[in-house]
Structure 1
Amino acid sequence: MAVSWAASRWVARGLAVGFGAVVVAAFPEPALWWWAWVALVPVLVLVSTSPSWGEAALRAWLAGAGFTAAFYHWLATQGVLLLVVVAALLGLLWVPVGVVAHRLLRDRPAPRRLGLAVAVVPAVWVLTEAVRSVPVLGGPWAVLGLTQWNAPLLGGSAALGGVWLLGLLVVAVNVALTAVVAPPGGGRGARLVGATGAAALLGVAALGGWAALGGGARAEPASSQSQVVRVALVQPGDIADPAERLTAHAALTAEVGRIDGADLVVWGQSSVTGDPAQQPAVEAVLRRAAVDAGVDVLVNGKAGNPAAPSNTSWLYTPEGAQATYHKRLLVPFGEYLPWRPVLGWLKSLTPAPDLDRVPGSQPVAMRSAGITIGPLISYESAFPGLRRELARLGVDLTVVQGSLGTFQGSWLHAQQAAIEAVRAVEIGRPAVLGAMSGTSAAFDARGRLLLWEPHQVTGAFVVTVPLVGIDTPYVRVGDWALWVAAAVVACTAGAAVLRRVTRHRVPRGDQSSQNRSTST
């Protein structure tokens, strides 16, 4: 009996790793958006049927580690040990979800307790995602709401409450379905409530998406006279030599000017090596590129003191740089080493630079081609708050400059490009991503695909972008879904503490009777 129990315990733990890993199929590149709505059910069944909360916590941690290792598999190019450490640490953030799910879904939950689980488990999940999304931990690359980038109707709810609202809805459906497929003995009432709840939540998500992107949100033409802008995204490929890279960008830009024509040309991240202001020859090439294209050219490189450089974008015209933006959120262990005096030893495991780059301090809105554009640089594309800032500044179009040369050929290309669809829906503004050696993409204000050029191809791609601004609730209100999740968790925890205190408090009358009995 003991051997059988031990064997089944280790089988369950192994399954937890596998079940966590396959959740990744909902993200690009597999991009099975529908899988996200059921992918967590096997994990929730495993933790809810655990014999103790400790075993549930362990299974949740293993599932989280499996998910993290699968999602961030491209980190293995920097060392397998680094991937193992990241998976083990970030996997711990699944533990609170596992413990709460075990408490609320175990032992044939009554419909009332299942209803509580449908509210509380998603709230805990989204709060742990928010913790995992802080810049020093890698940012919000793997949040579950991003899986709905290619599901226009369901993903449209991002316009109401951002990617966090999508996450709440997706996890809530998974919790409801867990009661439906739970092992025998789960209770007919709970199964009925689960099936009804899952269908209702899907209906709410679809209705929310329709309301936000269909008749529920008012669309206004952009501030320019023309309602479209033609953007050329220059993608020369992964070129290591700085001089060859600059030459390739300039040649493709000249081709745009001769043949296609555009209103704006975008080069990717690290398209220029060093600060053009300190390199007259590079400065001349960039001015000439603007002349050849006949329009402004947005480029990127390192600026400032070589001992403390910043990741900077410049908007070039034939007269020189007319606007500048310094990257604000830097890649941990890529552009800087967090807590360098303490974690300096990690430099051998990561591509962290010898010198930390200096972050910028504020968003920038640039005027070009008669419209206002909001630039961001690579890693910053994952953070919804930065995009909302730009929308509140009144930009007509957000432009991200990417590269991804470090992780060439991995799923990260598609993952970064897909983020643009959700960001566009959230703020009701079109979004373009120009990647030097990644996947260049463009989406309209409703998240509909306009351009997708994978990393295997090179060239200059001109996309016509409709300039429509949608006054979304997310832009007006912000991350209210996170505050709702926090309130749900706080109220539930407070009620649980109150019940425990009340249960252990001895009533005054009973205490008096007990004292009289003792005296006698």
Structure 2
Amino acid sequence: MPVPVGVIEQRDDGPLRRGPRAPAWRRGAAALCAGALPALAFPAPSWWWCAYVALVPWLLLAGSAPTRGRAALDGWLGGAGYMVAVHHWLFGSVHVFIVVLGGLLGLLWAPWGVLVRSLLGGADGPPGAGRSAAALAVVPSAWLLVEIVRSWQGLGGPWGVLGASQWQVVPALRLASVGGVWLVSLAVVAVNVAVALVIVSAASRLTATVALVLGAVATGSVWAWAPLPAESGAAPRIAVVQPGIVSRAPGSPQLRFARSEELTRQVADGRADLVVWGESSVTHSLATHPSLGRRLTALSRTLGADVLVNIDAPDTDARGRHGIFKRSTLVGPGGPTGVTYDKMRLVPLGEYVPARRLLGWVTSVGRAAGQDRVAGRRQVVMTVPRRDGGSLRVGPLICFESAFPDMSRNLANDGAQVLVVQSSTATFQDTWAPAQHASLGALRAAETGRPVVHATLTGVSAVFGPHGERVGRELPTARSASAVYEVPLAQGATLYDRFGDWAVYVAVAVVAAFCAWRGLRRTPGARGGLLRRPLSAPPVPPAHTVHGSPARPGR
């Protein structure tokens, strides 16, 4: 039966109001733009404050969706916009494939869009106090589950995790010491939900305001009682060598090695305990090119300190596997010490191509890896001698691995006193990537209570203290330089060191409990169990004759 204009047509997924609507493409474009907004909170813009309201347009859009299908589409498009925006600097390497990746990863937010609609709008109208309270707990938890799933290394890893945008906000770093970057993400999304609830209706305004006040009190409590490792012992002196863009000619690796040698000699008077070179700073195996080993040994002897280099070359590991390894190698005054670490988590497309037989074509449209690197099997803590007669326990990470909170936590729990990240973002030199990558060191330091030294070939190189604070001046991408940093040490463990990803488990429990509760509320047998109340039967039209005239009784 046709529905007259202006009448509400009851559907199984809520009321659908007839009337003028914006074209679907405009709503889709709005979802893409709304999803991209949070990228402004990350470096290079670093508008950290906008993270607390950047999700509000996306929340309001999904919450006002007329159907569940439209809410899922708003979630998908918003997620795609977010992924493309925080990874836009990859366009020069993988070209249009970044749009494909963004679209695939964006699908993870489709259920989140449906969830937002059910709690902020949907069939029940504006949320009251109960639904508002549920939204404040469930929507951030569901967001965190999306972040966890997409943080799997094979899907690109935890780059652009929303909580990482708060790397220079001291209260957020304190939260990270309690529950990692995941707890910071939960807090940031919860503030966005509260702001959206204030806008949605007067009924939810009080609940949202109370939630904001309680959140502020909880943050203050964390500040007061959360244990932090106390600084202790004499600060080791660690030198960072950043050769910069020396040349793009075919012989540039040799020129870069020579420039690194020169910069290393310049810190001879700095009395460094350790010198750190960036990722891929050596492009030949020391076994096949012993002259390189001799040059590094001479440097170490001149400085009286070990040199930690990173070798990107074909070699063989302790298990007899042959291939190209990204290998952190410690060289001392007596030569290579034999202490090495092979990169475990490789960058999809950049260092290997997943399912190369199927996706190998991407190497023809971008700068994807022509040959797969071989992944290491275990993390390593290196012991480095100090000038004062003591020793320093160093936990190496290579490039992409600094994005993974669990790897830093494992090293801290294994006894590392300093986390050292060897990186290279030369391919993305003039993009947001170098600053974004360096900022991750602040989060890892705050989470573990261990200082982080982030050394790169071309910048940004930076050092962060055990509470996430910056130490000294960074070396920007325009510099070819070396610098010596006094790195403060700390002893003790953070709550994140002790309890790990507990915030993730809480989020899983919250979402699971909500889904179970919603399932119990459904009425069995009513259109697949999706309706909470039956619809009244439509009026029966009068009978008609074949000529269209009303039938008369008795005829």
TM-score, length-scaled by structure 2: 0.85
1:516 aligns with none
Q: Residue 126 of structure 2 corresponds to which residue in structure 1?
A: 108
User: What residue is the counterpart of 1:250 in the other structure?
Assistant: 261
Aligned to 2:542: none
Name structure 2 gaps, 5 residues minimum: 6-16, 317-321, 530-555
* Displacement of 1:73: 1.1
Q: What code does the residue aligned with 1:243 have?
A: Q
Query: Cα deviation per residue 1:418-450 (whole Å; 9 max; x = unaligned)?
Result: 000000010111111001112001111111111
**Aligned equivalents of 1:416, 1:377: Cα separation in 2:** 12
The corresponding residue for 1:147 is 165
Does the CA contact (< 8 Å) of 1:152 and 1:209 recur in 2? no
Partner SS for 1:60: helix
SS of the residue corresponding to residue 156 of structure 1 reads helix
Alpha-carbon distance in 2 for matches of 1:162, 1:332: 24
From 234, 239, 258, give the equivalent of 1:232: 239
Larger mean CA deviation between 197-206 and 109-118 belongs to 197-206
Aligned counterparts of 1:56 and 1:134: Cα–Cα separation in 2? 25
Change beyond 3 A, Cα 1:304–1:345: closer
Residue number in structure 1 paired with 2:479: 457
Which residue of the partner structure matches residue 282 of structure 1? Answer: 292
> Which of residues 47, 62, 69 in structure 1 aligns to 2:77?
62
Question: Which secondary structure does the structure 1 equivalent of 2:379 belong to?
Answer: coil
Q: Secondary structure at the match of 1:123?
A: helix
> Deviation string for 1:363-404 (max 9, x for gaps)?
111111211010010011100110011011111100000111
Give yes or no for contact 1:325–1:364 (8 Å, CA) kept in 2. yes
The residue that corresponds to 2:553 in the other structure is none
1:40 maps to which of 30, 55, 59: 55
**Which residue matches 1:211?**
225
Aligned residues between the structures: 494
Are 1:406 and 2:427 an aligned pair?
A: yes
8 Å CA contact 1:233–1:267 kept in 2: the answer is yes
1:498 offset after TM fit, Å? 2.0
Is contact 1:328-1:360 (8 Å) kept? yes
Unpaired runs of 5+ in structure 1?
507-520
Output one character per residue of 1:195-215: Cα deviation in whole Å (capped at 9) or x when no partner.
221232233234324433xxx
Is the Cα–Cα contact under 8 Å of residues 119 and 172 in structure 1 kept in the other structure? yes
1:482-511 CA distance string (max 9 Å, x none)? 1111111111111212222568699xxxxx
Distance 1:5 1:456 in 2: 54
CA contact (8 A) 1:445 1:470 kept: no
Counterpart residue identity of residue 518, structure 2: A
* Partner residue in 1 for 2:537: none
User: SS at 2:236's partner residue?
Assistant: strand
Instruction: Give the superposition deviation at 1:80.
Output: 3.1
What is aligned with 1:157? 175
Cα 1:31–1:281 change in 2 (3 A) is same
Deviations 1:13-53 (A, max 9, x none): 22222122121111111112221111111110111011111
| Aligned CA distance change for structure 1 residues 210 and 153 (closer, same or farther; 3 Å) | farther
Which of 488, 493, 509 pairs up with 2:510?
488
Partner of 1:392: 413
Q: Report the equivalent of 2:306.
A: 296
Question: Counterpart of 1:378?
Answer: 399
Q: Judge conservation of contact 2:38–2:82 (CA < 8 Å) in 1.
A: yes
Distance (whole Å) between structure 2 residues aligned to residue 459 and residue 10 of structure 1? 50
Q: 1:359 aligns with which of 370, 375, 383?
A: 375
- Aligned partner of 1:510 in structure 2 is none
Q: Is 2:271 aligned against 1:261?
A: yes
Q: 1:75 aligns with which of 82, 90, 112?
A: 90
Q: 1:461 & 1:309 partners in 2: Cα distance?
A: 30
Paired amino acid for 1:189: A
Give the 3-state SS of the residue equivalent to 2:66 in structure 1. coil
Q: Distance in 1 between matches of 2:53 and 2:99?
A: 26
Alignment partner, residue 356 of structure 2: 340
1:198 maps to which of 212, 232, 236: 212
Contact persistence 1:56–1:98 (CA under 8 A): yes
Q: CA deviation at 1:345?
A: 2.6
SS state of the match for residue 455, structure 2? Answer: strand
Shift of the alpha carbon at 1:304?
Answer: 4.5
* Counterpart residue type for residue 137 of structure 2: A
Tell me, yes or no, if the aligned pair for 2:228 and 2:449 is still in contact at 8 Å.
no
Task: Judge conservation of contact 1:234–1:249 (CA < 8 Å) in 2.
Answer: yes
CA distance in 1: counterparts of 2:219 and 2:109, whole angstroms: 24
Conserved? CA contact 1:132–1:138, under 8 Å: yes
* Superimposed CA distance per residue, residues 334-378 of structure 1 (whole angstroms, 9 cap, x where no aligned partner): 111112233223332343333211111111111112110100100
Q: Secondary structure at the match of 1:471?
A: coil
Match for 1:413: what amino acid?
P
1:79: Cα distance to partner? 4.2
User: Could you say what the CA RMSD is over the residues aligned between the two structures, in angstroms?
Assistant: 2.1
Distance of aligned partners of 1:207 and 1:36 in 2 relative to their CA distance in 1, 3 Å threshold: farther
SS at match of 1:394: coil
Written as runs of structure 1 = structure 2, the 5 A alignment for 1:429-508 is 429-450=450-471, 451-500=473-522
| Rounded Cα–Cα distance in structure 1 between residues aligned with 2:355 and 2:177 | 36
Percent of paired sites with the same residue: 41
